[in-house]
Amino acid sequence: MAPEGNRNGTFQRTIAALVQDRPGVLARIAGLFRRRGFNIASLAVGRSERPGLSRMTFVVEGPEEVVRHVAAQLDRLIDVVEVRDITEQNIVWRELALIKVKANAGERGEILELANIFRVNVIDIGVESLTMEISGGRQKIDSLIELLRKFGLEEVIRTGRVATLRGTLIEGEKDGLFQSDASRSTYTLPTPTDESGAV
């Protein structure tokens, strides 16, 4: 995945960090971002596989020459155990959204058809509403939200991006390498070039 840029000159980078699980850590990281001029486009955080540590996935945006150094800046914080800029590595990523939409009896069938097309889970049905859970890339989630807008969106909650390095298919190679980076390439998977987050 290459750094994403847009017309106003800001670029996005995906950062994965392992941090101490204690009060104030997120505030210190947010303070660093504010001082350096980084904007947090999305943030996902939760307990990791290691007791006492949390894993954070940030998508940060700002001028290219500034956001390029995010990982190095984070690595200086005492609460950060490990940090990697995984933007230019081969990663698998997803976002999750819960979407609550108005759904009276007359419209419910059409909404459930959309849910089926997008392969989402309906996790709650009320008399006048329906709540769906969708995971995937940003474009998939944005598309469903746009199609549901005409029914009346009541609430949209999104996690932001979570990501990990794609596992290697070649014994002895590191995770996260693109197939062209592997010296002994024997098998090639298609690499997505869009924002779908798909495999």
pTM: 0.74
Owning domain of residue 68: 4-88
CATH number of the domain to which 48 belongs: 3.30.70.260
Within this chain, do residues 198 and 102 fall inside the same structural domain, yes or no? yes
Distance between CA atoms of residues 109 and 106, nearest Å:
7
Within this chain, do residues 118 and 191 fall inside the same structural domain, yes or no? yes
Indicate the DSSP class of residue 77. S
| End-to-end Cα, the chain, rounded Å | 12
Average pLDDT over the chain reads 86
Within this chain, do residues 121 and 180 fall inside the same structural domain, yes or no? yes
Distance between CA atoms of residues 32 and 68, nearest Å:
15
pLDDT at 177: 86
Within this chain, do residues 84 and 96 fall inside the same structural domain, yes or no? no
pLDDT at 6: 57
Within this chain, do residues 100 and 170 fall inside the same structural domain, yes or no? yes
With both helix axes pointing from N to C terminus, report the angle between 138-148 and 108-117 in degrees, rounded to the nearest 10. 170
Within this chain, do residues 108 and 198 fall inside the same structural domain, yes or no? yes
DSSP, collapsed to helix, strand or coil, labels residue 44 as strand
- Domain-ending residue, one of 70, 88, 106: 88
- Domain-ending residue, one of 88, 112, 142: 88
Within this chain, do residues 29 and 103 fall inside the same structural domain, yes or no? no
Per-residue model confidence as pLDDT tens digits over 74-100: 998 989 999 999 999 998 999 999 999
Distance between CA atoms of residues 144 and 196, nearest Å:
13
Distance between CA atoms of residues 199 and 189, nearest Å:
9
Residues of the chain with confidence (pLDDT) below 50: 7, 184-194, 196, 198-199
**Contact, 100 vs 131, CB < 8 A?**
yes
Going by C-beta distance under 8 Å and a sequence separation of 6 or more, which residues neighbour residue 86? 1, 14, 15, 16, 163, 165, 176
Within this chain, do residues 103 and 187 fall inside the same structural domain, yes or no? yes
Length of the chain: 199
Within this chain, do residues 96 and 181 fall inside the same structural domain, yes or no? yes
Within this chain, do residues 146 and 64 fall inside the same structural domain, yes or no? no
Contacts from 101-105 at CB under 8 Å and sequence distance 24+? 101/129, 101/130, 101/131, 101/132, 101/148, 101/151, 101/152, 101/153, 101/154, 102/128, 102/129, 102/151, 102/152, 102/153, 102/154, 103/128, 103/129, 103/130, 103/151, 104/128
DSSP, collapsed to helix, strand or coil, labels residue 26 as helix
Going by C-beta distance under 8 Å and a sequence separation of 6 or more, which residues neighbour residue 179? 90, 185, 187, 188, 189, 191
Within this chain, do residues 147 and 118 fall inside the same structural domain, yes or no? yes
Nearest alpha carbon to residue 61 among 4, 139, 16: 4
- Domain-ending residue, one of 88, 108, 134: 88
pLDDT at 187: 41
CATH number of the domain to which 147 belongs: 3.30.70.1150
Provide the domain count of the chain: 2
Within this chain, do residues 39 and 51 fall inside the same structural domain, yes or no? yes
